[in-house]
Structure formats: C-alpha cells, structure tokens
Amino acid sequence: MTRKMADRLAEATPPGIARKIGGLSDRSLAWLFIAPTIFLLLAINIFPLIWTIRLSFTNYRVNRVNADVKWVGLRNYERILTDPDIWQTMQVTAHFLFWTLFFQVLLGFALAWLINRKFRGNDLWTTLIVLPMMLSPAVVGNFWKFLYQPQIGLFNYMVSFVSGVDPASFSMIGSIDLAPWAIVIVDTWMWTPFVMLICLAGLRSIPDYIYEAAEIDRASKWRQFWTITVPMVLPFLMLAVLFRGIENFKMFDLVVQLTGGGPGSATEVTSINLKREAFEKWRTGYASAYAVILFVTIFGLASIYVKALNRVKER
Amino acid sequence: MSGHSITEPTRRQKWIAAVLVIAYTVIILIPLLWIISTGFKSPSDAISYPPKVIFTPSLEGYVNLFTTQTRITPDMEATLPPPETWYERLVREKGMVIAGPSRYGQRFLNSVIIGFGSTFLSVFLGTLAAYAFSRFRVPIKDDLLFFILSTRMMPPIAVAIPIFLMYRQLGLSDTHLGMILLYTAVNLSLSVWLLKGFIDEIPREYEEAALIDGYTRFQAFRKVVLPQAAAGIASTAIFCLIFAWNEYAFAVLLTSGEAQTAPPFIPTIIGVGGQDWPAVAAGATLFLLPVMIFTIMLRKHLLRGITFGAVRK
C-alpha cells in the first residue's frame, strides 16, 4: 500500500519540484551512485580486456620497445591451438580441476551433513574448519613446501608413521607422479570448508516437515537421504562447484608457490604457463591470445554450467 | 518444538558426528599449528628428524625476520663492544652482527595500507551502486549486474598484461595508489553483489516513510538505509579486506619494491643455504594470525556472508 502511494506521489510531483525537494532526482542519483563503479570496472577490467584482444592479433613484445609491431591476424591463435605443450598444460589443469572438485564435494558434503547433526559446540568446530580458506594461498602454499620435504617434512613423517614407508623415499613435490597430487591435497585442505559451508546452507534450508512427512510415509532413512536430502542440496552443491571450478581454472598463487609448475611441467597449470609466456618469455602478443582463449573457455563453460544449474533449480 | 521432533538426530548419531568432525578439524589444523611452532624453533630444531613437537623455544626466527645480518670474523668481533640487547647477543652467538632492519616491516605496512585503502573504496563505491541497483529503476540493470559479476571470471594473469602496460604509462606501477585501485576494481563485483543482497532485505517502507516525512532521497539513504545495512556492510568489508590481504598474483607481477605487499615477500625470505624456515614461519605467523583471530571473532558475520554471497549469485 505505502509503496504504491509513494510511487503515485513521485509520479504526481512535477520534475522541477522533485528536483528542488530531493536535491537530486532519483534518476540522476541512481547514475551518480552507479557511475563510479562502472567507471572503475571499465578502466581496470574492460579496457585491459579490449587491449588484450587487440594485442592478441599482433607480434608485440614488451621487452622490445623499438621493434615493429605487426598485425599477424589469427596466427597467435593458430599457434596456441596446435601447440602440444599447451594441450599438456590443459591436461594438468583438467586433472587438478577434476580431483580437487571431487574431493572437495565429497568431504565438504560429508562434513556439512555431520555438522548438521547439531551436536553441541558445532559452531566452534565449523569456525576452526573454515580457517584454512581465509589464509593467503601463496604464504600457506610456500609453507606446505616445507611440510612436503622428504625426510624432514611433517607430511612425509606422518605418511611414514601411518604406512611404514620410509619418509626419505618419496618427494611429493619433487616427483613427476606425485606432484599433481601434492597440489590437489593442499587445495582440498584449503577449500573443502567453502563447499562445506554452501552445503550446510543447503541442508539448513530443508524444512523439517518434509522429513516428518516422509517419516509418516515410513520412508527409510536411506531413502529419505536420496530422495529428499540429496536433491534439495544439489543446487547449492552445484553452485559451490561453479565457484570452485572458476577459481581453480584460474589457479595461480598456491601452485606457483608450492611447485612452481614443476617438476618439469608436471604441475604447470594454465595460469603458470601463461605467466611464463607473458612475463618470462615476454611474448606479449602470443600471451594475449592465450589469455583470450582462457577467458572464453571459462566464460563458455560457466555459461553452459549455469544453464544446467537453472534446469536443476526448476525441478 | 524441534527438540521433540522425529527428525532430531539421536544421541548416538550426535556423538559419532562430533567425533568425526573433531578428528577432521584436528588433522587440518596441524599445518597451521606447525607454522606457528616452527616460528619459535631454532633452525636446527626446525629441520630435525623426526620432526620435533617439543623443543626449546627460540626467537631466532623472529630476529632473522626483522633484521639483515652479516658474518664477521673472530678478530673483528674482538674489536666490537659487547652486545647490548638480547637480540644482538643472539645474533652474535652465531658469529654475525645485525646490519640493519629487514624489509619485512615495510612490506607488512604496505599490506595494511593497500588492504584497508582498497577495502574502504570498494565498500564505499559498492554500497552506493548496490543501493541504486536495489532501489531504482536502472535501464539494462540485469546486464550491468551480470557484467559486474563476469569481471570476476578473468584470470588475474590475463588482465595483468595490459594493466602492466597501462600502469607503466600512467606511472602507477609499483605504487600504493595503483594497487589500491586495482584491488578495489577486483573486489567491487563481490561487494556490489553482496551488498545488493543485504539492501534488498531492508524493507522499502522505512525509506518511503522517511521520504514522506520530508527527507530527501539522499538523506533517507544516509539516515535510514545505511544504519540498517551496517552489519552487511561490515561483513562485506571483511571479505574485501581478506581478499586484498591475501592477494598474490597481481602483487607479484605489478610490484617489486615500493608497494610490494607481504605475500610475495614472505616466500623470498632466505637465510644461509636455502629458505630460512623459522624466519619464513615467523613472517607467515605474523601475517596469518590477524586473519585467524578475525575469523574466530567475527565468525557469525563471516560464515553468513560466505553462504549468502554465494547462494544469492
């Protein structure tokens, strides 16, 4: 009622008077409020993006100021898409993405489900579990390098304590086979709490009466879990996967500090590869094309995923 | 009511759940406890096998963190006056003298300046934009909101190339202002989306009553909406601050001296023959501890903010 009245009042007031009363009309206030944000995003996000796209068609190199900048058309794109090294990098990224999401969903959902048993003090434990994801990935990743040292590292010591393997016999970050798992472990350690929190929000959004109704229908706990809990939490879980997926596709800080992409290129995820091209080899044009391809890939995958998510939500 | 509900877990279920959750928590906290304890170990204790849980605490790591040292010969040492302070004595025992302060303090201060500066800006601008998106009829609103969100999908390295070039032209590279503007832009998408959610929850009727009472739109925003949104603004600010505090990719690519923050600096702390782990751990502890304390103290706002922000989007 009130809203309608206010709207009608606003409409009935001639613009001149409205301006005098309000100091500013709603429309100019709206633009005044939004403009700085849009301006800053245009300047620091969109303008650089357009510049990247432009550079991606050239052979520009930052470290050769006097060299001629030539238009090379689509040649950078062609070279990237046919480069076996880049496909190797993509595989490393895919491995990292798949297994981090797998473990984080599994552990995150299990933890949320357990915490939702509402035992006493669960608030405190939730807070402590969340700690790793609040910390700087670069600083923490660097320290994990210490935990992973063969012989003296705590991780190796604990593995050997549990399994009896000699702690000096394996190196998590020094071996081509183990290094991809080393980064999966640290990322899972760090980000499982995020998935857990989103799942917890999902679990808490299920009203009790649904379970009560199922109980009256004599549905078993097992059946209730699969027909009520899982479908109701699924949209939340999918959202968590979307956010973690985007973040891990861009993953840089944790891995660069932990393994630096090595040994060899065993953990060279796309961002590290891109950084090498752009800031070590200084192939600016080539790296720009690479950046555009990555952005389009993330954006494309995310859009497809969001469509699927909306379909799940509608059900 | 719910205490008697048939959906309430049994005592035994609660026990099992508690034991499992506590076991998980203890395991994942070990690395963090290890960082803190390594900071108080002597270099030989830090790399001993088996790893030492009980050790004589030493402040060597912290002294190494804050000072630069040079080795001196015994002859030279004889000519020096005896050490005056406990930390000078500690360094002298290793046959070294303190040459001066390290750069850690400066890097930490940079993190504080850039963190708080960008948080203030992104919350300030974010609140204005969120209010406008929440309350006014803005043309192409959905497109603008999606545009704001999509800026978060770009890998930092991808935007870093042109920003690097742009900042070099504008003289913003390796400056506090440059980093503050950059982090503000990155945080704005989160801040607008979170705050729009919080402001959407405030009933419009309050402002409309104020408008009828003769407040201007701006007064209504300042005196009615802002106080109501204070909790939401606070939790948004925490997120922006934590992001800026932890950020590494831009910091490592765009800063080198003047404006370098702590995350790119801490891993570069080296001693004689490789990384000086107690000093690295000391630096990490001082850098991570504020966030840990913050998280525990402000858990209600934080946890709500994480799920709220994600679920709204």
Give per-residue pLDDT as tens, B284-298. Answer: 999 999 889 888 888
Q: Are B242 and A134 inside 8 Å of each other by CB?
A: yes
> Chain A residue closest to B216 (CA)?
A22
Number of Cβ pairs < 8 A linking chain A and chain B: 315
Residue A18, chain B, CB below 8 Å: the answer is: no
ipTM, 2 dp: 0.85
A169 part of contact set with chain B, CB < 8 Å = no
What is the predicted pLDDT for the residue at B184?
93
Nearest-CB residue to B212 (from A6, A31, A194): A6
Single pTM value for the model: 0.86
User: Which CATH architecture describes the domain A76-314?
Assistant: Orthogonal Bundle (1.10)
Tell whether A51 is within 8 A of chain B (Cβ).
yes
pLDDT of res. A19:
43
**Is the per-residue pLDDT at B155 higher than 90?**
no
Return the closest-CA partner of residue A76 out of A291, A296, A299. A291
- Sign, CA torsion A270/B35/B244/A282: negative
The rounded percent of chain B whose pLDDT value lies above 70 is 94
pLDDT above 50: residue A18 = no
Q: Which amino acid belongs to residue A283?
A: R
What's the pLDDT at B245? 93
Q: Residue A195's pLDDT is what?
A: 93
> Would you state the pLDDT for residue B5?
53
A33-37, A63-67, A94-98, B5-9: lowest mean pLDDT where?
A: B5-9
State the best of B161, B186, B207 to mutate against chain A, taking most chain A CBs within 10 Å: B161
Axis crossing angle, helix A179-204 with helix A137-147, rounded to the nearest 10: 130
Nearest chain B residue to A35 by CA: give it. B129
Q: Is B32 exposed, middle or buried (0-12, 13-18, 19+ CB in 10 A)?
A: buried
pLDDT of B312 higher than 60: no
A1 touching chain B per CB within 8 A = no
Residues of chain B positioned with their CB less than 8 A from the CB of A153: 51
Q: Is the pLDDT of residue A12 over 80?
A: no
Mean pLDDT in chain A? 85
Q: What is the pLDDT of residue A5?
A: 47
Confidence of residue A11 (pLDDT cuts 50, 70, 90): low
Measured in residues, chain A has a length of: 315
pLDDT at B294: 85
pLDDT beyond 50 at B3: no
Residue B165 banded pLDDT, cuts 50, 70, 90: confident
- Which tops the pLDDT comparison, A102 or A200? A102
Preferred mutation among B154, B193, B295 to probe A, highest tally of A CBs within 10 A: B154
Query: Are residues A34 and B248, on separate chains, in Cβ contact within 8 Å?
Result: no
B-interface mutation test, from A2, A24, A28, A41, most B Cβ less than 10 A away: A41
Q: Is A31 exposed, middle or buried (0-12, 13-18, 19+ CB in 10 A)?
A: middle
**Nearest CA of chain A to the CA of B231: how many Å?**
19
- Residue-wise pLDDT for B65-85, tens only, equals 888 888 878 777 778 888 788
A219-274 pLDDT, tens per residue?
A: 888 888 898 888 889 988 988 898 899 889 989 999 999 998 878 888 999 999 99
Residues of chain B neighbouring A249 (CB-CB closer than 8 A): 155
Domains in chain B: ranges and CATH: 58-102 (no CATH), 105-268 (1.10.3720.10)
Nearest to B250 by CA among B184, B166, B154, B183: B183
Overall average pLDDT of the A51-58 stretch: 88
| pLDDT above 80 for A8 | no
pLDDT of residue B309 exceeding 80: no
- Condensed to tens digits (0 to 9), the pLDDT of residues A104-151 reads 999 999 999 999 888 888 888 888 999 999 899 999 999 999 899 887
The verdict on B192 touching A (C-beta cutoff 8 Å) is yes
Phi, psi of A136 (to 5 degrees): -70, 115
**Which pLDDT value is given to residue B67?**
84
- B249/A37 Cβ within 8 A: no
Q: Which of A45, A47, A134 sits opposite B295 (nearest CB)?
A: A134
Q: Is pLDDT above 80 for A313? A: no
Task: Report chain B residues whose CB lies below 8 A from the CB of A287.
Answer: 161
Mean pLDDT throughout B165-191? 90
Q: Of all residues in chain B, what percent are helix, strand and coil, respectively (each to 5)?
A: 75, 5, 25
Min Cα–Cα distance to chain B from A94, Å: 16
pLDDT tens sequence across B82-138: 878 888 888 877 777 887 888 888 999 999 999 999 999 999 999 999 998 888 887
Going from N- to C-terminal start, the domains of chain A cover 2-55, 76-314
What is the average pLDDT across A54-58?
88
Q: Which two tokens stand for residue B85?
A: 């302070």
CA angle A221, A199, A201 (to 5 degrees): 100
> Rounded CA gap, B178 and A161, in Å?
49
CB burial of residue A286 (10 Å; 0-12, 13-18, 19+): buried
Give the pLDDT band (50/70/90) at residue A3.
Answer: very low
Would the CB atoms of A125 and B148 count as touching at under 8 Å?
no
What tokens were used for B207? 């402002």
pLDDT at A212: 87
